[in-house]
Amino acid sequence: MSAPVLDARGQRCPMPVIALARAARAQPPGAVLVVLADDPAARHDIPAWARLKGHTVSLADDGGHTAYRVVLGGHPAEKSTAGA
Q: Could you list the active site residues? A: 13
36: pLDDT confidence band, cut at 50, 70 and 90?
very high
* pTM (two decimals): 0.82
CATH of residue 43's domain is 3.30.110.40
63 inside domain = yes
Q: Give the pLDDT of residue 65.
A: 80
26 inside domain = yes
46 inside domain = yes
60 inside domain = yes
The total of structural domains in the chain comes to: 1
- Residue 17, pLDDT > 90, answer yes
Distance (Å, whole) CA 8 – CA 74: 24
- Residue 9, pLDDT > 90, answer yes
77: pLDDT confidence band, cut at 50, 70 and 90?
low
